Amino acid sequence: MTIEFSKTIRKVAILNPMTGFKRDEWEIEFRSDPLTGRNTTVIPKLRDYWLRFVKSDYEQLRSLVVESSKKCPFCPDNALTRTPKFLEEEFEEGRLTEGEAVAFPNLIGHADRSAVVVLSRSHYLPLSKFDVNLLFNGLKLGIKILKRWSEIYEHIDFGLLIFNYLPPAGSTIIHPHMQVLGRDRPVTLQKLLIESSFEYTWRNGSSYWRDLINTERELNERYLNEKDGIVWIVPYAPTRGIMEVHGIAYEPLGIFELDDKHILAIADGMSKILLFYENMGVSSFNAAIIPGPLRSKLDYYHINIRVIARPGISRLSFTDSWCLPYLLWDGEAIEEPESLASELKNYFG
Ligand SMILES: [Zn+2]
């Protein structure tokens, strides 16, 4: 089954003060997400204007890094004394380690069960230093924690691995870390993706995600790469924001079925995207690994990985969490997804 991509092109027209009030016209696109129907407005004309705001004021960033390092609970001297420990029935050892990564419960969690994985000994890392090993170790620990929770807590059946890096991405602590959430229910997007995938398979008799991968591979407009069971694409209708990239597991695997090769492929793709972000002047990002239910295997849902760039550290405190995406749940992309993909292809080889 081939996925259909639908869009409506509209023209914007103004009398532009920059050109002596001559008529100025450009196009915007209303694109529907092929699975959920959610609208994303694609406005390539915004790109150059917005790119100014994704770049950090490096002086300000540097002073924030220095100031925050003085009392950081995640720095090596403090991580073993000032962070919480897991309950004994969860992990007897209290905290977990894997390479440089250290995991412990969140002091004030965002879910029934909520953990933090500190990724590096360094207090600050530019995005190019989020390398494959660092991300691999963090993801390994995150999955190990979800596995344990799902074994001992009957009600925990949904999990997420998420990254919020630097304050513009919603983090209050600079030190590189990720979070692990265990809940009795999916988050809203997870629920929408799972339910919409089920409906698609019920209607068409095939997997949406497999059909999407095959269609994108054939079109080769937004398809980036496939390696060790993880496929990377730029989404046709980005969920929100800037430079959004999606990873999709080629097989409908549960999160505990991911082997080291899959996890390494997720880490590898993410590190390539983050290197691209840094070269574009970005220093802040969000990412999420979105699995189906922890215990049941769904043949119609494939693990999704989503990565977006966020604004930089600046005196303006600019945020892209403005009314349209944040309050009104509409998507907006400041670049044509196909142009973003052609730039990113160089990084995926
Ligand atoms: Zn630190």
pLDDT digits (tens, 9 = 90+) for 255-266: 999 999 999 999
- Strands 101-105 and 96-98, by their bridges, are antiparallel
Does the predicted TM-score (pTM) go above 0.95? yes
CATH number for the segment(s) 56-324+335-348: 3.30.428.10
Q: What average pLDDT does this structure show over 93-113?
A: 93
CB-proximal residues (5 Å) to ion ligand 1: 72, 74-75, 123, 175
pLDDT of amino acid 110:
86
Name residues whose C-beta falls within 8 Å of residue 79's C-beta, 6 or more positions apart in sequence.
Answer: 73, 95, 102, 104, 118
CA of 171 relative to ligand 1 center, distance in Å: 13
pLDDT of amino acid 59:
94
pLDDT band for 287, please (50, 70, 90 cuts).
Answer: very high
Q: What is the 3-state secondary structure (H, E, C) of 309-324?
A: EECCCCCCCCCCCCHH
pLDDT of amino acid 111:
86
Q: Which residue has the higher pLDDT, 109 or 188?
A: 188
pLDDT of amino acid 21:
97
CA of 173 relative to ligand 1 center, distance in Å: 8
Q: What average pLDDT does this structure show over 55-65?
A: 94
Please name which of 322, 274, 312 lies closest in space to residue 64, comparing C-alpha atoms. 312
pLDDT band for 187, please (50, 70, 90 cuts).
Answer: very high
Please name which of 186, 200, 202, 194 lies closest in space to residue 302, comparing C-alpha atoms. 194
Q: Work out the mean pLDDT of the chain and round it to a whole number.
A: 96
CA of 267 relative to ligand 1 center, distance in Å: 22
Name residues whose C-beta falls within 8 Å of residue 314's C-beta, 6 or more positions apart in sequence.
Answer: 53, 55, 56, 57, 60
CA of 139 relative to ligand 1 center, distance in Å: 19
Tokens encoding 270: 């993410």
pLDDT of amino acid 263:
98
Asked if pLDDT for residue 24 goes beyond 90, the answer is yes
Asked if pLDDT for residue 50 goes beyond 90, the answer is no
Asked if pLDDT for residue 241 goes beyond 80, the answer is no
CA of 95 relative to ligand 1 center, distance in Å: 17
pLDDT of amino acid 80:
85
pLDDT of amino acid 317:
85
* Contact of 113 with 149, CB cutoff 8 Å: yes
Q: Which residue has the higher pLDDT, 302 or 318?
A: 302
pLDDT band for 150, please (50, 70, 90 cuts).
Answer: very high
CA of 243 relative to ligand 1 center, distance in Å: 27
pLDDT of amino acid 315:
87
CA of 179 relative to ligand 1 center, distance in Å: 16
CA of 247 relative to ligand 1 center, distance in Å: 29
pLDDT band for 240, please (50, 70, 90 cuts).
Answer: confident
Asked if pLDDT for residue 274 goes beyond 80, the answer is yes
pLDDT band for 170, please (50, 70, 90 cuts).
Answer: very high
List residues bridging with 39 in a β-sheet: 32
Q: What average pLDDT does this structure show over 238-244?
A: 89
CA of 149 relative to ligand 1 center, distance in Å: 27
* Contact of 184 with 112, CB cutoff 8 Å: yes
Asked if pLDDT for residue 18 goes beyond 80, the answer is yes
Q: What average pLDDT does this structure show over 50-71?
A: 93
Tokens encoding 17: 């003060």
CA of 56 relative to ligand 1 center, distance in Å: 20
Angstrom distance (rounded) from CA 23 to CA 340: 28
* Contact of 104 with 85, CB cutoff 8 Å: yes
CA of 72 relative to ligand 1 center, distance in Å: 4
pLDDT of amino acid 250:
97
pLDDT of amino acid 2:
86
pLDDT band for 79, please (50, 70, 90 cuts).
Answer: confident
Asked if pLDDT for residue 109 goes beyond 90, the answer is no
